[in-house]
């Protein structure tokens, strides 16, 4: 199923390149003075059709991957709660409520990005630039080499951005646990106060 999602996403990206090719052909025809109303209408119609097909394929791929990922997340949460039912009550009482909320809701929700977005979108996001660079190489190899320079530059910027990510994420998780626990205690006190009134 993931292979079909990825295939539809890649196919959608390839169709998404169609409008750019149509515009390039139109610009070339205008530059050479060979553009005719029929050619312009044909290219505009082709660009619109390619864009619609891309939208439909991407929508279908996203819908399928999200249905699969939400089913997996539901199964994971059910497995966690089944295991929690076997944990001694003393451990359950000593553990802050926010830790359970982070475990069952937040941590499991993070898997959704990798399953619903990363799996189908990674191949498509690689296929479109590769096809673009291949096309540029076919037109002019010097322009192709210039386009390849952006890859190491992007990698350097991404590495600089991810520096110190571990400690920041650890601090974020600790703060989220404390906040969730505080909210849970405050909500419990508020409910208790309402029942006494």
* Phi and psi angles of residue 140, each rounded to the nearest 5 degrees, phi first: -160, 115
Torsion of CA 45, 30, 13, 60, to 10 degrees: -10
Q: Is 110 exposed, middle or buried (0-12, 13-18, 19+ CB in 10 A)?
A: exposed
- Select from 98, 111, 104 the least CA-distant residue to 85: 104
* Per-residue pLDDT, 195: 63
Residue whose pair of structure tokens reads 């999200």 in the numeric block: 66
- pLDDT mean for each 10 residues of the chain (197 residues): 76 88 89 88 93 92 85 85 80 71 74 74 80 83 83 83 77 73 66 62
* Per-residue pLDDT, 43: 92
The Cα 107–Cα 188 span in angstroms is 23
* Per-residue pLDDT, 84: 79
């Amino acid at each position: 199923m993931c292979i079909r999602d990825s295939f539809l996403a890649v196919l959608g990206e390839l169709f998404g390149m169609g409008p750019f090719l149509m515009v390039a052909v139109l610009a070339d025809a205008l530059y050479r003075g060979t553009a005719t109303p029929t050619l312009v209408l044909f290219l505009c119609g082709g660009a619109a059709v390619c864009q619609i097909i891309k939208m439909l394929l991407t929508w279908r791929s996203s819908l399928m991957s999200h249905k699969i990922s939400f089913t997996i997340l539901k199964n994971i949460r059910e497995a966690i709660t089944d295991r929690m039912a076997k944990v001694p009550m003393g451990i359950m009482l000593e553990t802050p409520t926010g830790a359970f909320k982070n475990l069952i809701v937040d941590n499991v929700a993070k898997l959704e990005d990798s399953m619903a977005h990363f799996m189908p979108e990674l191949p498509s996001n690689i296929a479109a630039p590769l096809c673009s660079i291949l096309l540029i190489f076919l037109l002019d190899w010097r322009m192709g080499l210039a386009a390849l320079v952006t890859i190491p530059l992007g990698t350097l910027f991404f590495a600089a951005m991810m520096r110190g990510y571990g400690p920041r994420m650890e601090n974020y998780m600790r703060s989220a646990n404390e906040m969730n626990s505080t909210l849970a205690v405050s909500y419990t006190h508020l409910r208790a106060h309402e029942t006494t009134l």
